[in-house]
């Protein structure tokens, strides 16, 4: 099982989730390139860059027949990988991620204005690079119960503006109104995969109240994704594994067992 975090978190996000499936599968929780303890190469940190490094990680370890678990951008990367590697995904679990291209109308206020600001040259640099907005504002706002110790773990990889470049780029990558066009095409491609693969079980974990996966997007998922199950994990912020790790872990473990997707074996963190 491959657990993929999003922006601006690290593999620390999964610390209280993976133990729930430790007896069912080998669990791996890498950190995306430029994030956490991973390297900081001189690249643009666009979606295609992250996908390329993820491909290399999976190939280097010889991983196959994967159950992918993705949150936020980790969910988008999971769907993208599965779509580009047909036949290699046994199942996929998604939470608070990007399921289809969006319009600005899909973003409720004030979120729409904040992300428009991040995508504005100069303004976005001030917010994310100088003020560390994703860590100091967004993470606190979406998950106010996060402890100071855990917030420090997420803060530590990004001590200066240069280290925060990946966080800024993520804020500019999601296709809204068709831009960026290349990411729009990748999302459209994995939407087709989601619809055309009834042989691959899919689990969508939702939160209350609805977050990134709004009620409208959840209904779209029910109407357009093959072999989909939807389960609420209860009250949580966007970074749901911080608030509801046990509910997420139990939901995944029960789903795996019921569908026979994994078998008991030694695990590796």
Q: For residue 72, indicate whether it is catalytic.
A: yes
The domains located in the chain, with CATH, are 2-106+178-259 (3.40.50.1820)
Catalytic option among 20, 50, 72, 239: 72
pTM for this model (two decimals): 0.96
User: What's the average model confidence in pLDDT over 210-223?
Assistant: 96
Q: Token digits for 56?
A: 């290399």
Q: For residue 250, indicate whether it is catalytic.
A: no
What would you measure as the largest C-alpha separation in the chain, in angstroms? 51
pLDDT digits (tens, 9 = 90+) for 148-202: 999 999 999 999 999 999 999 999 999 999 999 999 999 999 999 999 999 999 9
pLDDT digits (tens, 9 = 90+) for 27-57: 999 999 999 999 999 999 999 999 999 999 9
C-alpha span between 174 and 7 (Å, rounded): 12
Which residues is 230 bridged to in the sheet? 204
Q: Pick from 82, 171, 87, 77: which is nearest to 123 by CA?
A: 171
Q: Are 162 and 258 in contact (CB under 8 A)?
A: no
Whether a cis peptide bond, with omega within 30° of 0, leads into 240 is no
Catalytic option among 80, 96, 191, 243: 96
Measure Cα distances from 111 to 4, 124, 214 in Å. Answer: 24, 14, 13
Catalytic option among 5, 20, 238, 239: 238
Q: For residue 50, indicate whether it is catalytic.
A: no
């Amino acid at each position: 099982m491959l657990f993929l975090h999003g922006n601006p978190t690290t593999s620390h996000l999964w610390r209280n989730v993976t133990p729930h499936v430790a007896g069912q599968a080998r669990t791996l929780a890498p950190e995306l390139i430029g994030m956490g303890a991973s390297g900081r190469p001189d690249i643009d940190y666009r979606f295609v860059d992250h996908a390329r490094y993820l491909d290399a990680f999976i190939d280097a370890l010889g991983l196959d027949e994967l159950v992918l678990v993705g949150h936020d951008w980790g969910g988008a990367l999971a769907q993208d990988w599965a779509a580009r590697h047909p036949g290699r995904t046994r199942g996929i679990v998604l939470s608070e991620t990007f399921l289809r291209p969006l319009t600005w109308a899909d973003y409720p206020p004030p979120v729409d204005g904040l992300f428009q600001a991040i995508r504005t040259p100069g303004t976005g640099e001030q917010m994310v690079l100088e003020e560390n907005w994703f860590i100091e504002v967004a993470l606190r706002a979406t998950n106010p119960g996060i402890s100071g110790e855990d917030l420090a773990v997420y803060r530590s990889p990004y001590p200066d503006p240069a280290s925060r470049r990946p966080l800024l780029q993520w804020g500019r990558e999601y296709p809204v109104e068709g831009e960026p066009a290349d990411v729009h095409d990748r999302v459209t491609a994995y939407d087709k995969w989601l619809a055309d693969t009834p042989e691959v079980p899919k689990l969508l974990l939702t939160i209350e109240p609805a977050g990134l996966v709004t009620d409208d997007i959840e209904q779209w998922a029910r109407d357009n994704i093959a072999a989909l199950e939807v389960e609420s994990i209860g009250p949580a912020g966007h970074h749901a594994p911080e608030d509801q790790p046990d509910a997420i872990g139990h939901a995944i473990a029960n789903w795996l067992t019921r569908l026979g997707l994994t078998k008991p074996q030694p695990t590796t963190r």
